[in-house]
Amino acid sequence: MKEKISVIVPCYNEEEALPYFYDAIINTAEQMNDFDFEFIFVNDGSKDRTLELSKQLAKKDHRVKYVSFSRNFGKEAAIYAGLENSTGDYCVLMDADLQDPPALLPEMMEAIQKEGYDSAATRRVTRKGEPPIRSFFARMFYRIINKISDADIVDGARDYRLMKRDMVNTILDMKEYNRFSKGIFGWIGYDTKWIEFENVERVAGETKWSFWKLFKYSLEGITAFSIAPLQIASIFGILFSLVAFVMIIVIIIRTLVFGDPVSGWPSLVCIIMLIGGVQLLSIGILGQYLSKTYLETKKRPIYIAKETNVEVKE
């Protein structure tokens, strides 16, 4: 019996790119005829014809499965849903815009089967086509999170990754509501081979990731895998307390010895504003972690599937 590869494709408003992706992945599947395939399209609350196209593909190709959310739950939820509904011996995560080249899949499989890796992941070595400021902040994010967390997150890493079933099951065991897959992949370990490729432009449509969305996503990653921001807030508190204590001693000595009255209300206002700003920053950091804890304790489902043609697992 042939081993099966589950191709998981999160989709949000990808009606323009989906036909191109399907043609490309079918071509790759034909080249890898030693394996059976299933294609799972996860419709993440799209407002276009993404779901309709997925259903059309499912009618003409029995290997095509779809899971449609009741609303937009985000890419992380779509990744989890795809993994949860997959039945393959191997699972591969891919974007529908063809920025994850399907042609790399045979090389990724070779790394697992012949070289003994548990997964094969991809990273971009160039960011051609991206705005310079976005590339700068992306590189800074990878540097920071690798220094302050235990998760091994490679610069330029894509979600495009082929994994053995054992690794997939480990990821599914982590049922946290606030998910950051790049961090989860690094945190759980397993032997991973990194395959490099140059950045590829979208085949059609527009990116759904604005700078603001990427910024919020980076905060999710930092708060999910590091408590360093809380430690920094504590260090600020200790530092300002020491500075205040020293200044009190200096003012007392200056007043007693030199008779110099305390003056300078403008500088006092600036100091109060500075300390107030640090306090608000620290409260905000604390609030980020508290909100994550609050959401986790609700035990809400990671996603809600409204429509699907995936058979319920026994």
Which residues have a Cβ under 8 Å from the Cβ of 104 and sit 6 or more positions away? 122, 160, 195, 197
Mean pLDDT across 14-41: 89
Mean pLDDT across 264-278: 70
Identify the CATH homologous superfamily for domain 4-210+300-308: Spore Coat Polysaccharide Biosynthesis Protein SpsA; Chain A (3.90.550.10)
Higher pLDDT, 207 or 171: 171
Mean pLDDT across 274-279: 76
pLDDT class of 307 with cuts at 50, 70, 90: confident
Global pTM reads: 0.74
Burial 189-221 (b: 16+ CB within 10 A, else e): eeebbebebeeeebbebeeeeeeeeeeebbebb
Mean pLDDT across 289-299: 80
Residue 210 pLDDT greater than 80, yes or no:
no
Average pLDDT, the chain: 80
Higher pLDDT, 70 or 269: 70
Q: Which of 97-111, 222-236, 278-292 has the lowest mean pLDDT?
A: 222-236
The Cα 45–Cα 11 span in angstroms is 8
Indicate left, alpha or beta for 90 from its phi (over 0: left) and psi (-120 to 50: alpha). beta
Residue 209 pLDDT greater than 60, yes or no:
no
CB atoms within 10 A of CB 297: 9
Q: How far is CA 157 from CA 124, 191, 209, 225, 233, in A?
A: 6, 15, 16, 17, 29
**Cβ–Cβ < 8 Å for 14, 97:** yes
pLDDT class of 299 with cuts at 50, 70, 90: confident
pLDDT tens per residue, range 89-122: 999 999 888 888 888 898 889 889 888 889 898 8
The Cα 38–Cα 26 span in angstroms is 10
Q: How far is CA 190 from CA 76, 81, 118, in A?
A: 20, 21, 6
3-state secondary structure of 7: strand
Q: What percent of the chain has pLDDT over 90?
A: 17
The Cα 169–Cα 99 span in angstroms is 26
Residues written for the chain: 314
pLDDT tens per residue, range 33-88: 888 999 999 998 888 888 999 999 989 889 999 999 999 888 889 999 999 999 88
Beta bridge partners of 193: 120
Mean pLDDT across 191-198: 84
Domain boundary assignment for the chain: 4-210+300-308, 228-297
Residue 147 pLDDT greater than 90, yes or no:
no
3-state secondary structure of 64: strand
Q: What percent of the chain has pLDDT over 70?
A: 75
Angle 277-282-286 from CA coordinates, rounded to 5°: 145
